[in-house]
Amino acid sequence: MKFLEKFALTVYSYIVLVLAVIMCLLVFNWIDIGTVTKTVTTIAQGDISSKITLVISAIFILLSIKCIFFDSDTEEKIKESQGILLKNENEILPLTSDKKIAFIGKYAKTPRYQGGGSSHINSWKVESALEAAKKIPELANVTFAEGYQDEKDEVIEELQNEAVKVANEADVAVLFLGLPDNFESEGYDRKHMNLPNCQNELVEKVLEVQKHVVVVLHNGSAVVMPWKDQVEGILEAYLGGEAVGKAVAEVLAGRKNPCGRLAETFPLRLEDTPCYLTYGKGYDNAKYQEGVFVGYRYYTSRKMETAFPFGYGLSYTTFEYSNLQVDKKEMSDKDTVEVSVKVKNTGDRAGKTVVQLYVEAPETEVVRPVRELRGFEKIFLEAGEEKTVTFTLDERAFAYWNTLIHDWYAEEGTYKVMIGENADQMCTGEEITVHPTKELPKTYSLNTCLGELMRDPKAQTVMAPFMQGMAQNDAAMDMAEANENDQSGVVNQEMMAAMMEGMPLRQLLSFVPGIKREMLEQMVNALNQL
């Protein structure tokens, strides 16, 4: 139903309600008919502004009554499925009514749904997963055990033993874990990425008696999961607000198809993070030495194994990407390029997916991440349905911020445009060659490397005569002849090319016999006049 239709129906319903209340008051003589008549006459004789004000006030009053006294359907509030499905081995999810299900963990009954410190609000109504399960037929056969307390990180034997007993008697155990308020809040930073030890131990104890285990996480940021490979399912709920319990229960039961994707990388351990060596070190200065290699840019560039990569998330259905097309193979930095890809729901139920577009830069003069996200779009597809998703990319998609020109700069080269399931898993790609129209100011010196000069077409016009003269030098010719006759394999073309690539001009003074410093300085002056 459209918004305006719902709004009109709501207003109409409460007008009828108010009129019904007035009629009842008149019938029981609790108000006088003359009072009502006088009030209506006064309103009718008032000016237009007064009438408009009265109508608006009445609407707000009626809507306030609805919010305060009438419980709206929670399902109407949940327009999107809650949570990110990180693991679903053996299709443990969704749960079905023929299974005995154990909900274990304090957060199943009292979920952690908001941040700490000043982000705390007075919630109107918090619905837990345990409460929500009572209204969902697929979760009708649920038992509960608290398992732990989160005020202190300590094992309470009685609670743990009860949880193990309940898990042993069930077909599936769903453990609700997460970070307590005292683990993450404003005013201080966590120095580790661990869940409370009592929760990790609880998982271990449950796994000893139950192999079908699903973990639901309530946390504000990434955590280490030592049991990741042992459990069959993981649902990341984060701090999902007051309706998080309902949302999680809907996903567990399959009433909602999860479609969330990670906006951060889950590393295997704290030591794998890009800032580990410098974060929190020193007293006077905070050093951010990771540079542009923040988040997924670090992990993908290092080809580092992670627990779950950026952009990762599963669904109860499957999707296929095909027919990636670009409307041009070459472009300048003033042009745009349209990238389209076909997406098909290849599963047996409707679902949403996040189409992610990444760009890989060629080898450039500056240090850049291997891959960067340059576009994404969430789409809904019925089972078997296919849609074409189109992205428009401009210079920014291929550029980096150049401090010499104080502007974005797309370096000359061939870039790869790819569609990925996540930052690590690319599905299909195409190449686009970008030609910059902006010129970078360049200053050359004796420390400039030969490789940089040889890649610059303008510099080659100055370099060519110099290199020809160097080659005609008697000592240089003798050296070249000796290298050609070398049978030991110590010197070869590949080695020579590599040496020349990173060799500063000044090193030619010792590398090539007969070369004078004055000759190199003359060449540098000529280069700086280009």
Q: Do 381 and 480 belong together in one domain? A: no
Domain for residue 297, yes or no?
A: no
How far apart are alpha carbons 150 and 170 in whole angstroms?
24
pLDDT value at residue 515: 77
Give the helix, strand, coil percentages of the chain, each rounded to 5.
35, 20, 45
- CA nearest to 263, candidates 303, 322, 225, 220: 220
pLDDT value at residue 66: 56
How far apart are alpha carbons 283 and 278 in whole angstroms?
12
Domain boundary among 435, 461, 493: 435
How far apart are alpha carbons 158 and 475 in whole angstroms?
88
Beta bridge partners of 393: 337
Helix (H, G, I), strand (E, B) or coil at 386: strand
Domain for residue 291, yes or no?
A: no
Q: Do 117 and 220 belong together in one domain? A: yes
The packing angle between helices 48-69 and 33-45, to 10°, is 130
How far apart are alpha carbons 309 and 261 in whole angstroms?
10
Q: What is the β-pairing status of strands 400-402 and 386-393?
A: unpaired
Which segments in the chain show pLDDT lower than 50? 1-2, 68, 70-79, 475-477
Residue 12: give the domain boundaries.
Answer: 3-70
How far apart are alpha carbons 497 and 483 in whole angstroms?
13
Q: Do 12 and 146 belong together in one domain? A: no
Residue written as tokens 């590398």? 511
Domain for residue 308, yes or no?
A: no
Q: Do 54 and 123 belong together in one domain? A: no
Helix (H, G, I), strand (E, B) or coil at 392: strand
Domain for residue 375, yes or no?
A: yes
* DSSP one-letter code for 45: H
CATH number at residue 387: 2.60.40.10
Element (H, E) at 104: strand 101-104
Contact 288, 275 (CB under 8 A): yes
How far apart are alpha carbons 520 and 460 in whole angstroms?
14
Domain for residue 271, yes or no?
A: no
Helix (H, G, I), strand (E, B) or coil at 404: coil
CATH number at residue 175: 3.40.50.1700
How far apart are alpha carbons 410 and 333 in whole angstroms?
7
* DSSP one-letter code for 72: P
Domain for residue 425, yes or no?
A: yes
| Alpha-helical regions (H) of 47-122 | 48-69, 74-77, 106-109
pLDDT value at residue 518: 84
Number of domains in the chain: 4
Domain boundary among 258, 275, 296: 258
pLDDT value at residue 421: 96
Q: What does the pLDDT look like over 19-44, one tens digit per residue?
A: 767 666 666 666 677 766 766 676 66
| Alpha-helical regions (H) of 287-443 | 296-301
- For residue 150, give both structure tokens: 């989160």
Q: Do 97 and 245 belong together in one domain? A: yes
Neighbouring C-beta atoms of residue 503, cutoff 10 Å: 14
Residue type present at position 240: G
Beta bridge partners of 178: 218
Q: Do 173 and 52 belong together in one domain? A: no
Helix (H, G, I), strand (E, B) or coil at 36: helix
pLDDT value at residue 119: 77
Residue written as tokens 């008032």? 46
Q: Do 461 and 326 belong together in one domain? A: no
- For residue 8, give both structure tokens: 């009109």
How far apart are alpha carbons 237 and 81 in whole angstroms?
10
pLDDT value at residue 78: 38
Q: Do 189 and 131 belong together in one domain? A: yes
Q: 56-74 burial, b if ≥16 CB within 10 A, otherwise e?
A: eeeeeebeeebeeeeeeeb
Q: Do 211 and 168 belong together in one domain? A: yes
Q: Do 197 and 240 belong together in one domain? A: yes
Predicted TM-score of the model (pTM): 0.78
The packing angle between helices 33-45 and 3-27, to 10°, is 140
Q: Do 126 and 251 belong together in one domain? A: yes
Domain for residue 444, yes or no?
A: no
How far apart are alpha carbons 215 and 231 in whole angstroms?
7
Contact 479, 512 (CB under 8 A): yes
Domain for residue 60, yes or no?
A: yes
Q: Do 347 and 377 belong together in one domain? A: yes
Q: What does the pLDDT look like over 247-263, one tens digit per residue?
A: 999 999 999 999 999 99
Give Cα separations from 182 to 187, 189, 308, 498, 523 (angstroms): 11, 11, 25, 55, 65
For the chain, count helices (H), then strands (E): 16, 16
